[in-house]
Structure 1
Amino acid sequence: MIQKLLASAALLALATGISPAAAQSTQPESIVLVHGGFVDGSGWEGVYNILKKDGYQVTIVQNPTTTLADDVAVTKRAIAEANGKVILVGHSYGGVVITEAGNDPKVDKLVYITAFAPDKGESVSSLIANPPPGAPVPPILPPQDGFLHLDKAKFAASFAADVKPELASFMANAQVPWGVAALSGAVTEPAWKTKPSWYLVATADKMIPPDAQRAMAKRAGASVVEQSGSHAVYVSQPKAVAELIEKAAKAHAK
């Protein structure tokens, strides 16, 4: 079977004048989008539509956000199913997931959207343990059965201040419980140490302080853009987010 496929590729190359290696090198990278805590993958719809229109193959991961290990496993299945090399994109807690899952050999590049970018041994819990003075405090309610929610009445102001009120209200009432165990999941080896990365800082974020975002991006050696937007910038500003992902796609991997 493999021999037949190789032979077919060779015949196609002869017919088109393009070598199999060259054809493979021009194949667009697949894009895998990873959501964060309290939400699911549906928030990526606007970004997805733009990327699909521009010709990219896009997969949206539906992580259970129960434990880091479970979320990495789900993400790795999406990576395995994607065609060719993969650009792994993570929002918020999704940044922790891509930092770990990004070590997969198929992953070529990482894109962080107002996300956590931990170093070895770090987790969400350790990164938020000592907030800077005056930093906004996310309205996280006490855990219930090992899961966290945001206060619905304060969800829009803290998470989605620039999202249309009707949609922000829907997001607040459609929250996905975020497992306390996921917050303590520590990265074993950060993929950004060996793979190029890009970072979008949301300058009006009330969940992850913008200065903390800048510090993590700098430590990761990421190419940084700043965008006025809330923590839900991927929902409210899909064009800006898609532009950064496409910028990464067009860049040559190191």
Structure 2
Amino acid sequence: MNLLIKLETVDVRVQGKVWKHYRIEPHILTSAPPKDWLKQMQVTENTLTQVAEVNLNKYLDDWVNESGVNLGIALLNIEGLTAEEANERLGRKNPIKKVKTGGWWCGGVNWRNGQPMGNRFGQFKPEIKHIDPTTDKEGLKYLSASGVGADALFLKMPDQNGAVDKDYWKRVYEDKSQIINWTEGGKKAGSGLTIDIPTIAVFGVWNFISGGELNHEVEIWLKRGGFQFLSFDSDYVDKPSCREAIKRFCQEAKKLGTTIKIVTWDSK
């Protein structure tokens, strides 16, 4: 069985500009799709011609082509930073700890009113893994600002005109029929939101808790109740720490009266 995506051409208006994009809908096929079909289709239709104008092409490619995030969501939530800008935002002053390349930054909003959380709350992905020789062995793919609590990350959602829908998360919170998906990282949250699943991100598998206590916004949303599930990467099978994080997340949710369903992946 193969999962393919039905593509429908739509115009996405963001900050006064119209961007041609494909709305994505999953479909199950009985035969295998051609390799690189999505990338070929997007190149053929020149869907990213205007994207180059904002110098975000390579970062949007990471979100839109590689991870299937809706272009309107990607444009609202990521910005390209130089290494200098990234170090200032991350609060890295020690030369050893500074990042050496630019990358994309994904910020978040206050779910109550849709207002930005400030330019230091978010997640940065450098173009090359960051290695701090004093602590890192394999390098880090994602970084967050020092001195800023790693609470839940709520992405901006576009309204029908492509502007930020400031009431999106408030409506989701109040509507208990809406399911909630928890995942790791802003880009994965964007993928979930693309297919109309309200998806909240934590910065890392253990970043739902600090000092033995649930982070503030995580606790509020777990108390909300309703159907909630957790979709970390499939490699939790090979990572004991990730399995322990999943177990702890579910235990903390249960204390608050919410049962978490765990997404399992076919890793073959």
Specify which structure has the bigger relative contact order, considering alpha-carbon pairs within 8 angstroms and separated by 6 or more residues. Answer: 1
Which structure has the highest strand share of the two? 2
Which category describes the TM-score, using the shorter chain as reference length? under 0.3
Q: Which has the higher helix share?
A: 1
> TM-score w.r.t. structure 2 length?
0.23
TM-score normalised by structure 1 residue count: 0.24
